[in-house]
Structure 1
C-alpha cells in the first residue's frame, strides 16, 4: 500500500489546479474572447432552456461563467472566467476559483450562471471582492424537457444559480466554496 506524504499531496493538488487552468486560457483571454464565450453561453441557455428568458428578464444582473474546469486527485480545484452583465451589457469581468480536499479523482468542465434577482444581491456581489456563493443562493435545475426547475422557493431567492453543460469524469458540479474576484482581462 502506498503512503502519501503532505508534500506529495500538495504536489498532486498543484497538478490538479494546473489541470483546472488548462483549457481556460489563463493569460490569453482578452475581454473580446470572454465576451464571445459569454454570448455563446447566453445563446445556448436561451435555445436549450427557454425558461431562462423569464429569469434573465427579472434578474438585475447575470454573471455568466462559460467554462469552468475542475480537476482533482485527493486535492482538487476549479477555475474559470466570465462576465457580469446588466441589461445584457458587460459591466465587469470575473474569475471564479475553488479548492477542495477529500475523496475525488478526475476532471470535468461545466458552465454556470448566477442570476441576481434583487438590487441588494447584485450590489453585495459587486461591492465584495472575493464574493462566495452562500446560503442565499438557490439552484435551478434544467430538466430533460428544456425547462428550468424554478419554483416559489427559487423565484423568491436573491441569487439563483444554474449549473449546466457538465462533461467529464467527476460526477456532478458544485459551486460550494467558489470565490468570484473582479479581474481586468
Structure 2
C-alpha cells in the first residue's frame, strides 16, 4: 500500500513539473532579452568562448533550463536559435530522467552548430533529440580554465553554465528540442 502511495506522489510530481512550463510561456521578446543576457554571460565567463560564437553557423541558447526531481525528474526551458546574430526560430528543450536525484537547479544551455550542414539537418528535423538525431559534443574545460578549441572541428558543440560556472560533467543526451510558434 505504501509503495502505491509513493508511486502516486511521484507521478503527481512529474505531471506537475512537466505541466508547469505550459502555465506561463515567455513571449518572443522576453526570450530574446534573456538570450541576450545569457550570451553576455557566456562571453564574460567562458575564456575562448567568443571564438566559438564567431565560428558557429548558428547558436541555440536556452537561458534557463529548470531541472527538478525526486527519484523521477524532468527539465524544461525555452530559447532561441540565432543565425548571424538574429533570432530565426524559438525552441523548447525537455528531458526526463530516472535515478537518484532530489532537488532543483537552473542551467543555461548553449548549442553551437559549427557547420552549415549540421545546422540545416537540425532545422529540417521536427523534434530533434540529442544522441538520436545528432550528437552534441559537450565542451570540456582545458588547462588554465580555457575552452579546448580543438573541438571547433566537431559539427555540434554544447556548453552548460550553472551558478558555479561552466560545467563539464553534465550531459545533453536525451534532450529533445522542439520548434515553438512565437
Q: TM-score range by the shorter chain?
A: 0.7 to 0.9
Q: With the length of structure 2 as denominator, give the TM-score of the two structures.
A: 0.85
Aligned partners of 1:130, 1:93: CA distance in 2, in Å? 13
Q: Are the counterparts in 1 of residues 136 and 172 from structure 2 also a CA contact under 8 Å?
A: no
**What number of residue pairs does the alignment pair up?**
176
Displacement of 1:161 after TM fit? Answer: 0.6
Tell me the equivalent position of 2:126.
129
Aligned partners of 1:102, 1:176: CA distance in 2, in Å? 15
Q: Which aligned segments of 4 or more residues in structure 1 are displaced greater than 6 angstroms?
A: none
Tell me the equivalent position of 1:18.
16
- The answer to whether residue 54 in structure 2 is matched with residue 57 in structure 1 is yes
Displacement of 1:102 after TM fit? Answer: 1.9
Greater helix fraction, Structure 1 or Structure 2: 2
Distance change in 2, residues 1:20/1:107 (3 Å)? farther
Q: Are the counterparts in 2 of residues 77 and 98 from structure 1 also a CA contact under 8 Å?
A: yes
Distance change in 2, residues 1:117/1:71 (3 Å)? same
Secondary structure of the structure 1 residue equivalent to 2:35: helix
Q: How does 1:163-178 map to 2 (within 5 A)?
A: 163-166=160-163, 173-178=170-175
Tell me the equivalent position of 1:148.
147
Tell me the equivalent position of 2:34.
37
Aligned partners of 1:119, 1:59: CA distance in 2, in Å? 9
Aligned partners of 2:143, 2:37: CA distance in 1, in Å? 20
Aligned partners of 2:18, 2:68: CA distance in 1, in Å? 5
Secondary structure of the structure 2 residue equivalent to 1:148: coil
Distance change in 2, residues 1:145/1:45 (3 Å)? farther
Q: CA RMSD in A?
A: 2.5
Aligned partners of 1:150, 1:9: CA distance in 2, in Å? 46
Structure 1: unaligned runs, 5 residues or longer:
none
